[in-house]
């Protein structure tokens, strides 16, 4: 009985953590009003660089990844 109770609460907590992660990371880009990928413009490229800088600042990507992606964005302007 105790094992079932521990498993139940473990699943409830894991579900809540997964839900919070989904709601905070997945919908953040949609709420920011990103232009569609087909809208290639100088402003769109600038926005992509800003988003990349934000990801670097939050620690989602390391410095090497940031520099590599930034160079790739600037190469395809």
User: pLDDT tens across 13-70, in order?
Assistant: 999 999 888 888 755 555 555 555 554 455 566 788 899 999 999 999 999 999 999 9
* Cα-only R_g, the chain: 19
Instruction: Tell me if 34 is assigned to some domain.
Output: no
Quick one: tokens of 68? 């590599």
What size, in residues, is the chain? 77
Cβ partners under 8 Å of residue 47, min gap 6:
34, 35
Instruction: Tell me if 59 is assigned to some domain.
Output: yes
For 46, the domain range is 2-28+42-75
Work out how many domains the chain is built from and give that number. 1
Instruction: Tell me if 23 is assigned to some domain.
Output: yes
Asked whether the whole model's pTM tops 0.85, one would answer no
Cβ partners under 8 Å of residue 29, min gap 6:
51
């Amino acid at each position: 009985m105790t094992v079932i109770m521990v498993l139940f609460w473990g699943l409830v907590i894991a579900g809540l953590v997964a839900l919070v992660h989904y709601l905070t990371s997945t919908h953040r880009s949609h709420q920011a009003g990103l232009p569609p990928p087909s809208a290639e413009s100088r402003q769109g490229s600038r926005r992509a660089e800003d988003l990349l800088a934000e990801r670097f600042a939050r620690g989602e990507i390391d410095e090497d990844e940031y520099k590599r992606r930034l160079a790739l964005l600037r190469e395809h302007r």
